[in-house]
């Protein structure tokens, strides 16, 4: 027989707000800070299945590399052939 929690009266679980409540850990981890990506966090996923928090992105060059993009240099674009 399961006893209910003395704080939230949940049986087999604890309600949000209960001192015994522990949120479910996310299986998505940020590749930059190694912290879980929680509900409400803004994040990106690349083609390799890696995740990163929006606030952990160190810069535009790093982000372009992480997403697999290449910067190119514009050459002569004169269409007078």
Asked whether residue 47 is assigned to any structural domain, the reply reads yes
- Domain limits for position 29: 25-71
3 within a domain of the structure (yes/no): no
Higher pLDDT, 69 or 77: 69
Task: Cite the beta strand spans of 1-73 per DSSP E.
Answer: 43-45, 51-53
Does some domain include residue 65?
A: yes
Higher pLDDT: 2 or 35? It is 35
Per-residue confidence at 80, pLDDT binned at 50, 70, 90?
low
Q: Is the pLDDT of residue 81 over 60?
A: no
Q: How high is the mean pLDDT of the chain? A: 91
- Residue 15 belongs to a domain: no
Q: What is the 3-state secondary structure (H, E, C) of 14-79?
A: CCCCCCCCCCCCCCCEECCCCCECCCCCCEEECCCCCEEEHHHCCCHHHHHHHHCCCCCCCCCCCC
Q: What is the pLDDT of residues 13-49, one digit of tens each?
A: 899 899 999 887 788 999 999 999 998 999 999 999 9
Report pTM.
0.63
Q: Is residue 5 part of a domain?
A: no
Residue 54 falls inside a structural domain:
yes
Asked if residue 41 is part of any domain, the answer here is yes
In a domain, 53, yes or no: yes
Overall domain count for the chain: 1
The reported pLDDT for the residue numbered 23 is 80
């Amino acid at each position: 027989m399961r006893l209910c929690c003395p704080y939230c009266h949940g049986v087999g679980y604890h309600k949000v707000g209960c001192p015994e409540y522990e949120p479910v850990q996310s299986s998505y981890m940020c590749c930059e800070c190694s912290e879980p990506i929680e509900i409400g966090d803004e994040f990106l996923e690349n083609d390799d299945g890696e995740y990163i928090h929006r606030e952990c992105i160190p810069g535009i060059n790093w982000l372009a590399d992480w997403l697999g993009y290449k910067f190119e240099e514009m050459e002569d674009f004169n269409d007078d052939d």
